[in-house]
C-alpha cells in the first residue's frame, strides 16, 4: 500500500541572475563542496564529450549545460576531471562567469597571494567587491573548496536567503555557514546525503558543477521546480502563464500548489495573493508537465511588454512513497 507523505513548501528566489550585494557579516570563504571546473575561453559546442562523463553519468546534463554556456570546460586530455577537488581560484573564475560579472572592473582586493597578474585576479577582485569573498591578508588560491564555503559563495552570489528551516544533522544553528546551508537546502540546490550536509568535506568538480547549474536553472533543482515558457496579457486584464513543472525527486507528486511573482527584467509585473492549485496534475519521478496559471486582474501591478521573464515562487506538494 502506498503511503502518502507531505513535504515542506519550497521557496525559490528569482530565477534571473541577481547582482550580489555585499554582506558585512560574511565569513572568509574557504572551499566549496561541489567540484571546481576549469575556466572556459568561450562557449563550448553542445557536441563536446568528455571521456569520463558518459551519457549515463548522473551529472551529465548539468555539466553539458555549463559547458554550452561557456562557464566551464574540461582538460586538454579530453577528461572533465569528475572527482578532482575544486581550488578556490577556479571556483572564483567559474562563479564570476556564472553571474556574468567576470569582466566588471573592481578595486584591488589586497590579497598578498593574488597579484594583478594572477589568472583569477579579475574574478577574485569582482567577487570580493560584492562581498562574496571576504577581505583578508591571504586568499589561498590553491586551497581546496569545502562544502560550507561553497554554500556561502553560491548563497551570497545569487542573493539567496533561507525560505524555511532546513535541518542537517551536522549543521548547528551556531555554525557560521548555517544560514548559507539552509538557503541552499530550501532552494532545492543542496539536499545533503542521508541528512548530512558534510560542511568540511572538499567539493569536487562534478558536485560544484551541479550546484552552479542548479543555482542558474530551476529544472536541475531538487523537489518540485518551475520554469516559465511564456506569458501574455489577456483582454480581461489577467495574465496567462505557460509553465513547466519539474518533479526532480524519486517520488510521484500530486496536490501541487504554487504561488508566483512575475518579473519582466527588474519590474514586478504581477504578484499572487494566494496559492494556485494544479488539480488533477500528477507528475512521475524525474518527469515534467506543462501547465497554465493565471494572475487575476487585481494581482497585476503593471502591464509592460512581457519579455525577459523570471519568477519568484513557493511550492507545496504531496507525494507517494
Domain membership of residue 16 (yes or no) is no
- 181 with 236, same domain: the answer is no
Q: Which of 191, 220, 249 finishes a domain?
A: 220
Q: Are residues 116 and 143 in the same domain?
A: yes
Q: Which of 186, 202, 220 is the last residue of a domain?
A: 220
277 forms beta bridges with 257
pLDDT for 49: 81
φ, ψ of residue 226 in degrees (nearest 5)? -145, 145
In a domain, 6, yes or no: no
Based on the fold, state whether residues 236 and 295 are members of the same structural domain: yes
Is residue 105 in some structural domain?
yes
- Rounded CA gap, 61 and 64, in Å? 5
Task: Kindly state whether residues 201 and 300 are assigned to the same domain.
Answer: no
Q: Can you give the residue range of the structural domain that contains 246?
A: 223-319
pTM: 0.76
18: cell is: 541577481
pLDDT computed for residue 27 by the predictor: 26
- 145 and 248, same structural domain? no
Strand partners, 295: 239
Do residues 227 and 213 both lie within one domain?
no
- Does 206 share its domain with 243? no
Angle, vertex CA 92, rays to CA 202 and CA 196, nearest 5: 30
Q: Are 143 and 108 in contact (CB under 8 A)?
A: no
- Please indicate, yes or no, if residue 299 is contained in any of the structural domains: yes
Q: Is residue 22 part of a domain?
A: no
Domain contains 178: yes
Residues 158 and 244 placed together within one structural domain of the fold = no
Specify the number of domains making up the chain: 2
289 phi and psi angles, rounded to 5 deg = -145, 145
**The CATH number of the domain where 306 resides is what?**
2.60.40.1620
One domain for residues 194 and 108: yes
Supply the pLDDT for residue 250. Answer: 86
Q: What is the 3-state secondary structure (H, E, C) of the chain?
A: CCCEEECCCEEECCCCCCCCCCCCCCCCCCCCCCCCCECCCCCCCCCCCCCCCCCCCCCHHHHHHHHHCCCCECCCCCCCCCCCECEHHHHHHHHHHHHCCCCCCCCCCCCCCCCCCCCCHHHHHHHHHCCCCCCCCCCCCCCECEHHHHHHHHHHHCCCCCCCCCCCCCCCCCCCCHHHHHHHHHCCCCCCECCECCCCCECEHHHHHHHHHHHHCHHHCCEEEEEEEEEEECCCCCEEEEEEEEEECCCCEEEEEEEEEEEECCEEEEECCCCEEECCCCECCCEEEEEEEEECHHHECCCCCCCCEEEEEEEEEEEEC
pLDDT score recorded for residue 173 = 94
* Cα separation, 156 vs 129, whole angstroms: 12
Distance CA 154, CA 203 (A): 13
Q: Is residue 19 part of a domain?
A: no
- The answer to whether position 29 is within a domain reads no
Q: Which residue has the cell 560550507?
A: 148
Q: What pLDDT score does 180 carry?
A: 96
Nearest to 162 by CA among 147, 191, 184: 184
Same domain flag for 95 and 175: yes
By the 8 A CB rule, do 216 and 17 touch?
yes
For the chain, the C-alpha Rg in angstroms (whole number) is 20
pLDDT by residue, tens only, the chain of 321 residues: 233 343 444 554 443 333 333 332 222 232 222 333 333 333 334 446 899 999 999 999 999 999 999 999 999 999 999 999 999 999 999 999 999 999 999 999 999 999 999 999 999 999 999 999 999 999 999 999 999 999 999 999 999 988 777 889 999 999 999 999 999 998 899 988 889 999 999 999 999 999 999 999 988 999 899 999 999 999 999 999 999 999 988 899 999 999 999 999 999 999 999 999 998 999 999 899 999 999 999 999 999 999 999 998 888 999 876
Same domain for 205 and 229? no
Final residue in a domain of this structure, among 220, 245, 279: 220
Judge if 188 and 116 occupy the same domain: yes
Amino acid at each position: 500500500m502506498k503511503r502518502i507523505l507531505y513535504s515542506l513548501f519550497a521557496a525559490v528566489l528569482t530565477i534571473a541572475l541577481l547582482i550580489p550585494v555585499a554582506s558585512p557579516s560574511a565569513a572568509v570563504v574557504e572551499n566549496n563542496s561541489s567540484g571546481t571546473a576549469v575556466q572556459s575561453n568561450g562557449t563550448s559546442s553542445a557536441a563536446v564529450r568528455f571521456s569520463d562523463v558518459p551519457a549515463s553519468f548522473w551529472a551529465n546534463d548539468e555539466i553539458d549545460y555549463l559547458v554550452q554556456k561557456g562557464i566551464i570546460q574540461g582538460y586538454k586530455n579530453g577528461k572533465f576531471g569528475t572527482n578532482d577537488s575544486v581550488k578556490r581560484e577556479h571556483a572564483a573564475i567559474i562563479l564570476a562567469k556564472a553571474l556574468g560579472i567576470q569582466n566588471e572592473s573592481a578595486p584591488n582586493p589586497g590579497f598578498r597571494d593574488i597579484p594583478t597578474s594572477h589568472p583569477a585576479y579579475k574574478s577574485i577582485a569582482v567577487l570580493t567587491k560584492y562581498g562574496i569573498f571576504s577581505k583578508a591578508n591571504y586568499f589561498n588560491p590553491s586551497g581546496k573548496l569545502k562544502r560550507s564555503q561553497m554554500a556561502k559563495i553560491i548563497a551570497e552570489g545569487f542573493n539567496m536567503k533561507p525560505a524555511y528551516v532546513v535541518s542537517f544533522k551536522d549543521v548547528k544553528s551556531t555554525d557560521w555557514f548555517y544560514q548559507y546551508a539552509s538557503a541552499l537546502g530550501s532552494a532545492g540546490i543542496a539536499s545533503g546525503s542521508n541528512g548530512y550536509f558534510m560542511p568540511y568535506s572538499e567539493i569536487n568538480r562534478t558536485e560544484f558543477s551541479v550546484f552552479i547549474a542548479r543555482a542558474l536553472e530551476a529544472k536541475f533543482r531538487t523537489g518540485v521546480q518551475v520554469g516559465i515558457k511564456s506569458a501574455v496579457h489577456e483582454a480581461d486584464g489577467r495574465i496567462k502563464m505557460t509553465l513547466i513543472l519539474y518533479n526532480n525527486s524519486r517520488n510521484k507528486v500530486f496536490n501541487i500548489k504554487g504561488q508566483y511573482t512575475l518579473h519582466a527584467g527588474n519590474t514586478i509585473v504581477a504578484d499572487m495573493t494566494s496559492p494556485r492549485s494544479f488539480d488533477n496534475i500528477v507528475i512521475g519521478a524525474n518527469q515534467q508537465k506543462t501547465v497554465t496559471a493565471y494572475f487575476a486582474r487585481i494581482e497585476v501591478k503593471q502591464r509592460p511588454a512581457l519579455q525577459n521573464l523570471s519568477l519568484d515562487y513557493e511550492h507545496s506538494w504531496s507525494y507517494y512513497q
